[in-house]
């Protein structure tokens, strides 16, 4: 409450100026009522009765070109503080004033739409922004807000439409956004088994962003669901070319395709190649198991020992200790191995390159900053 009182001080100052201005502009009609109400508002502020202070100051200020900015600033203050109901009430009261000029009414309409957005009243916000869309001065903000609304409502066709409109209005690149929106639409179509339209949208996604890993991932997933493992593997290999750091994330899909196609030698060569290119405990452990099966435990243990000499890693040490236990079952080695297994928990790790959001789950849109395609794997 103290913070709100402090934030209202500029409003109080503006109101004081306005009352004095009115008084000296027309002394013959000046009323001491204005002054008394102004000091009444100040008294509410001093006593930390901010709600009452707001009512006094709003009633004192006539809505005209000279005071509208104060009203709008007050509404924005409420909204930013999370007091959306107060912001809505203030803006609705302003809209009820018949004397408002057209441009001022549009500005208040825009603020009311923003209030509804923050309150989660998306249908009401959409209605207001669609009304404002015809006015050029508001078109950019309206397009951004409608794009946000349609994404939240998972209306992907409308989202794509407004992303394209935003692309034409704003110089900010929208290719990554459009690629992911087409991927969202493709995922929805795949669930209804409309694979033809899904593929068309995934193709469009790659046209917008040739590095869109998600497009090839969805294509691979659809191919696997239809037992087309050769096709799926081709899409997965395309992911390797786009961003090799995603290979550990989709490693199960790679292995499934190799196994279903009975390509064990190709699988071994693939694991050997990618394991040497990126640091990933999951890749190393998977390759070591394949090495153990292909060339024996001695080679697998030797490989891990060499890796530990070059660059010690907890995951490699944990796996080596486990293999040594399998070889001789020495009680001390078993104790160390069990302790290392408790200390080391293998998991995926993802980081947003825009805001730094950290997660163990792959999100195509960052839950924090709401940017698409900014979260990438952090291999360990």
Digit-coded pLDDT (tens) for 287-320: 888 888 888 888 877 877 887 777 777 666 666 6
* Range name among 37-41, 113-117, 312-316, 350-354 with the lowest pLDDT average: 37-41
Q: Answer yes or no: is pLDDT of 86 > 60.
A: yes
CATH number, domain at 84? 1.25.40.10
Q: What is the DSSP string of 208-261?
A: H-TT-HHHHHHHHHHHHHTT-HHHHHHHHHHHHHH-GGGTTTTHHHHHHHHHHT
Q: Which pLDDT score is estimated for 291?
A: 85
**Does 148 share its domain with 9?**
yes
**Helix 195-208 to helix 213-225 angle, to the nearest 10 degrees?**
160
Intra-chain end-to-end CA distance of the chain, in Å: 47
Number of structural domains, the chain?
A: 3
Among candidate residues 165, 196, 213, the one where a domain is terminated: 165
Q: Where are the beta strands (DSSP E) in the chain?
A: 350-352, 358-359, 375-377
Enter the tokens of residue 302: 């030797």
Give domain status of residue 131, yes or no. Answer: yes
The dihedral formed by the CA atoms of 325, 326, 330 and 336, expressed in degrees to the nearest 10: 10
Residues 285 and 354 in one domain: no
Q: Can you tell me the distance from the alpha carbon of 266 to that of 269, in angstroms, rounded to the nearest whole number?
A: 5
- Reported as a single tens digit per residue, the pLDDT across 124-176 is 999 999 999 999 999 999 999 999 999 999 999 999 999 999 999 988 899 99
Burial of 71 (0-12, 13-18, 19+ CB in 10 A): buried
From 143, 165, 187, the end of a domain falls on 165
**Per-residue pLDDT tens digits for 180-233:** 999 999 999 999 999 999 999 999 999 999 999 999 999 999 999 999 999 999
Co-location of 335 and 351 in the same domain: no
Which pair of structure tokens corresponds to residue 51?
């709600």
| Distance, CA of 155 to CA of 147 (rounded, Å) | 10
Tell me the pTM: 0.79
Are residues 364 and 309 both part of a single domain?
Answer: no
Say how many CA atoms lie within 13 Å of 212 toward its Cβ: 28
Q: What's the whole-number average pLDDT of the chain? A: 81
Task: Give the residue numbers spanning the domain of 315.
Answer: 263-344
Q: What pLDDT score does 271 carry?
A: 96
In terms of domains, do 279 and 359 share one? no
| Cα-only R_g, the chain | 31
In terms of Cβ atoms closer than 10 Å to its own Cβ (0-12, 13-18, 19+), residue 375 is: buried
In tens, the pLDDT along 261-284 reads 999 999 999 999 999 999 888 888
Count other C-beta atoms under 10 Å from residue 336's C-beta. 16
């Amino acid at each position: 409450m103290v913070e709100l009182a402090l934030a209202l001080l500029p409003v109080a100052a503006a109101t004081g100026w306005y009352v004095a201005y009115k008084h000296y502009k027309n002394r013959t009609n000046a009323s001491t009522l204005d002054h008394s109400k102004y000091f009444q508002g100040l008294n509410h502020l001093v006593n930390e009765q901010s709600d009452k202070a707001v009512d006094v100051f709003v009633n004192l200020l006539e809505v005209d070109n000279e005071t509208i900015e104060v009203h709008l600033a007050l509404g924005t203050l409420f909204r930013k503080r999370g007091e959306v109901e107060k912001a809505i009430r203030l803006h609705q009261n302003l809209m009820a004033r018949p004397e408002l000029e057209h441009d001022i009414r549009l500005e208040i309409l825009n603020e009311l739409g923003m209030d509804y957005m923050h309150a989660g009243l998306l249908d009401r916000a959409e209605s207001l922004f669609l009304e404002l869309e015809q006015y050029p001065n508001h078109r950019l903000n309206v397009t951004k807000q409608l794009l946000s609304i349609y994404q939240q409502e998972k209306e992907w066709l409308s989202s794509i439409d407004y992303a394209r409109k935003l692309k034409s209005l704003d110089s900010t690149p929208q290719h990554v956004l459009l690629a992911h929106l087409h991927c969202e639409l493709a995922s929805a179509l795949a669930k209804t088994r409309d694979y033809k339209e899904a593929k068309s949208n995934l193709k469009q996604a790659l046209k917008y962003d040739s590095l869109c890993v998600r497009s090839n991932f969805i294509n691979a997933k659809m191919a696997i669901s239809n037992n087309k493992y050769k096709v799926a593997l081709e899409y997965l290999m395309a992911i390797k070319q786009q961003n090799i750091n995603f290979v550990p994330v989709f490693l199960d899909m790679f292995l499934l395709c190799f196994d279903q196609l009975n390509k064990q030698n190709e699988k071994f060569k693939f694991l050997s190649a990618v394991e040497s290119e990126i640091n990933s405990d999951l890749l190393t452990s998977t390759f070591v198991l394949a090495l153990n099966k292909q060339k024996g435990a001695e080679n697998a243990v030797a490989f891990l020992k060499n890796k530990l000499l070059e660059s010690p890693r907890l995951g490699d040490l944990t796996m080596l200790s486990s293999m040594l236990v399998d070889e001789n079952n020495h009680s001390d080695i078993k104790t160390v191995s069990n302790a290392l297994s408790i200390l080391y928990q293998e998991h995926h790790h993802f980081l947003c390159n825009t805001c730094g959001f950290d997660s163990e789950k792959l999100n195509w849109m960052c839950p924090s900053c709401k940017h698409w395609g900014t979260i990438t794997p952090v291999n360990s």
